[in-house]
Amino acid sequence: SQLAEENSWALSVHEGESVTVNCSYKTSITALQWYRQKSGKGPAQLILIRSNEREKRNGRLRATLDTSSQSSSLSITATRCEDTAVYFCATDDGSSGNKLIFGIGTLLSVKP
């Protein structure tokens, strides 16, 4: 079973709009990471938010973490066509290891 999962399979917005991708996870974590994967490429990290942090920003991106509800969100403002990608949340498995457990991903389409 998935330890981390995004709450939407796919989202579609128009350029300039804002969008939020949500994620829930099932274990105690050290950190949660958001990755983006464009077609034909490997995932690329967007934000790493540690369990003692509540919010992290990176340019147009903002991630939140709520450890009490075991959920996270990634918001993108002023979306661009090049933001079209699959967005994953990923967590450690709560042990001392560093492997990542990925959600299924949310396909975001940004249309002109």
Partner 1 sequence: NAGVIQTPRHKVTGKGQEATLWCEPISGHSAVFWYRQTIVQGLEFLTYFRNQAPIDDSGMPKERFSAQMPNQSHSTLKIQSTQPQDSAVYLCASSRLGIDTQYFGPGTRLLVL
What is the contact surface with partner 1 in residues (CB under 8 A)?
2, 30-31, 33, 40-45, 48, 50, 88, 90, 92, 97-105
Q: Kindly tell me the burial class for residue 23, based on how many C-beta atoms sit within 10 Å of its own C-beta (0-12, 13-18, 19 or more).
A: buried
Cβ of residue 92: shortest distance to partner 1, in angstroms? 6
C-alpha distances (whole Å) from 9 to each of 30, 98, 106 are 25, 26, 5
Cβ of residue 91: shortest distance to partner 1, in angstroms? 10
Cα 69 versus chain centre, distance:
16
- Report the residue number, 18 or 45, with the smaller CB distance to partner 1: 45
Are 46 and 62 in contact, with CB atoms under 8 Å apart?
no
Q: How far apart are CA 13 and CA 79, in angstroms?
A: 8
- Report the residue number, 42 or 112, with the smaller CB distance to partner 1: 42
Q: How far apart are CA 42 and CA 70, in angstroms?
A: 26
- Report the residue number, 23 or 101, with the smaller CB distance to partner 1: 101
- Report the residue number, 97 or 112, with the smaller CB distance to partner 1: 97
Cβ of residue 69: shortest distance to partner 1, in angstroms? 21
Cβ of residue 76: shortest distance to partner 1, in angstroms? 19
